[in-house]
């Protein structure tokens, strides 16, 4: 996923937000990685799933645990956690913090629903992500 994001940031269209995005690889359970990433001074943290993994459930569970770890260390920084499946979204117990869970399945279904409700909406969305 970091490779895909770095490819997106190299495109000419990313000129407007390239300087606002920092891609880092590390572990949310390691204090040195949290300090290196300057999470306490971050505006937002986004946890991306591993899209090339076969065991989707364990990856979602690990990402939920990462979001809990980040919420425990820095409760004032909003965390957005992208999950593979919408069914794992309900397994995350929200403690009333600033953690949001979004699933890839829900995004796909929302795109299909918008395509059914509004002709041409899916074509417009696909052209935006060209």
pLDDT at 92 (0 to 100): 53
d(CA 64, CA 84): 11
pLDDT at 2 (0 to 100): 74
d(CA 81, CA 23): 15
Instruction: Encode burial over 21-56: b for 16+ CB neighbours within 10 A, e otherwise.
Output: eeeeeeebeeeeebeebebeebeebebebeeeeeeb
Taking the model in full, what pTM does it have? 0.71
pLDDT at 91 (0 to 100): 54
The segments of the chain whose pLDDT lies below 70 read 1, 88-97, 130
């Amino acid at each position: 996923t970091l490779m895909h994001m770095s490819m997106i940031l190299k495109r000419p269209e990313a000129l407007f937000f390239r300087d606002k995005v920092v891609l880092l690889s590390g572990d949310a359970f390691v204090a040195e990685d949290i300090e290196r990433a300057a999470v306490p001074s971050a505006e937002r943290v986004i946890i991306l799933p591993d899209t090339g993994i076969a065991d989707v459930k364990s990856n979602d569970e690990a990402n939920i645990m990462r979001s809990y770890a980040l919420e425990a260390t820095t409760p004032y920084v909003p965390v957005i956690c992208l999950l593979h499946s919408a069914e794992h979204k309900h397994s995350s117990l929200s403690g009333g913090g600033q953690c949001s869970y979004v699933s890839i399945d829900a995004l796909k279904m929302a795109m299909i629903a918008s395509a059914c409700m509004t002709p041409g909406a899916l074509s417009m969305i696909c052209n935006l992500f060209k």
